[in-house]
Amino acid sequence: MVNNSSIDWLFPWPDEALLAVATELIAADNRLIPGEFRQSIIEHHVDVHKSVIDVSQDFVTTLRRQNYVTPRNFLDFIATYQVHTGFTKICLSVCPSVANLALAAKLESLIRTCETRNMGQNRTKGRPRRRKSD
């Protein structure tokens, strides 16, 4: 009985706390993030974290599996964003043509995926329905 029980000691941060932490971590003097986009990026981080909490609650109700979303996840999310932003800026400054080729390849792959999915949907729409045999 003890092995299958857990205590949820983790409480979600209020929106004001999420905004304050994100505002502090994504500093105004950060050269990697343009000033005009800073507030919207901060709000996006908060919205994504809150949506993960909502989806995790749905996950528990539908699949009966717990996914813990902690304040540490929020801090890691912001840190990963900053590392990725810095890495992208470095790649673009060192070799912009290679970075543009990589982006073009990813976009082409995304377009092919969308076209494939659309073809699959069109195929199922045109099929006649099978009759149930008695």
- Amino acid 133: pLDDT: 55
- Amino acid 131: pLDDT: 54
- Amino acid 9: pLDDT: 67
Q: 115 is in which domain, residue-wise?
A: 95-126
- Amino acid 50: pLDDT: 94
| Residue 14 is assigned to a structural domain of this protein | yes
Q: How far is CA 6 from the centre of its chain?
A: 27
Q: Are residues 110 and 88 in the same domain?
A: no
- Amino acid 20: pLDDT: 94
Tokens standing for residue 106 = 């990813």
- Amino acid 27: pLDDT: 81
Q: Are residues 36 and 80 in the same domain?
A: yes
| Residue 132 is assigned to a structural domain of this protein | no
- Amino acid 94: pLDDT: 65
Q: Are residues 102 and 81 in the same domain?
A: no
Query: pLDDT averaged over consecutive 10-residue blocks of the chain (134 residues)?
Result: 60 90 86 84 93 91 88 91 77 63 72 73 52 53
Q: Are residues 54 and 7 in the same domain?
A: yes
- Count other Cβ atoms within 10 Å, centred on residue 26: 19
Would the CA dihedral through 43, 70, 12, 65 be positive or negative?
Answer: positive
Q: Are residues 87 and 112 in the same domain?
A: no
C-alpha to C-alpha distance for 81 and 26, rounded to whole angstroms: 10
Q: Are residues 84 and 105 in the same domain?
A: no
Q: Are residues 70 and 19 in the same domain?
A: yes
- Count other Cβ atoms within 10 Å, centred on residue 126: 6
Contact yes or no for 12/69 (Cβ under 8 A): yes
| Residue 58 is assigned to a structural domain of this protein | yes
| Residue 48 is assigned to a structural domain of this protein | yes
Number of domains in the chain: 2
| Residue 133 is assigned to a structural domain of this protein | no
Distances in whole angstroms, Cα of residue 66 to Cα of each of 35, 61, 62, 69, 102: 38, 9, 10, 10, 37
